[in-house]
Amino acid sequence: MKLKNEHFWLLIFAVNFASFQLVQDYIRPQYAGDSNLIRYFLGVAPNFFPAVGIPSLFMVLLPILFSGNLSSRFILKRHLTSNLISVTGLVCWEVLQFTGKLVFDWHDILWTILGAILFHIIWALSLKINIPYIGKK
């Protein structure tokens, strides 16, 4: 049985969403160790996981939300559009933290970009393992 395109991307989203929640709600608050490396990764994980997960969700939502109104070029390039929307939103959120009482961190932006690169690698690999890339229903 082949994995459907939508199911594949929703699975990627679900794994990243669950990982984000696990780190944000359970692991980070309860970590009491002395490892700076683990603290660093727990600090950037809430940016990395959404940078992979959000474009995965957009891979499914964009054709549904804009069906009939999209050019075939947009459908074929939706991985880039999804990634661009995600990275723009996540980086803007990080920059907005300058204005509030939250903490701005360049490392969060770096790991957002690394997450976007990982999403693109997953997309490229999905083409190689023959997960159908269907744009229109």
Would you say residue 25 lies in a domain?
A: yes
Output the pLDDT for position 92.
93
Give the integer Cα–Cα distance in Å for 47 and 68: 33
Amino acid, single-letter form, for residue 137: K
User: Measuring CA to CA, how many Å separate 40 from each of 29, 32, 89, 98?
Assistant: 13, 13, 22, 20
Place of tokens 């984000």: 20
Would you say residue 135 lies in a domain?
A: no
In a structure prediction context, what are the per-residue pLDDT tens digits for the chain, which is 137 residues long? Answer: 455 788 899 999 999 999 999 999 999 999 998 899 999 999 999 999 999 999 999 988 887 777 766 666 666 688 888 999 999 999 999 888 888 777 888 999 999 999 999 999 999 898 888 665 555 44
Residue 15 domain boundaries: 5-128
DSSP state at residue 49: H
Would you say residue 48 lies in a domain?
A: yes
Output the pLDDT for position 24.
94
Would you say residue 105 lies in a domain?
A: yes
Question: Which stretches within 32-105 are classed as H helix?
Answer: 36-65, 72-76, 78-96
Would you say residue 136 lies in a domain?
A: no
Q: Are 47 and 90 in contact (CB under 8 A)?
A: yes
Q: Could you give the number of structural domains in the chain?
A: 1
Would you say residue 133 lies in a domain?
A: no
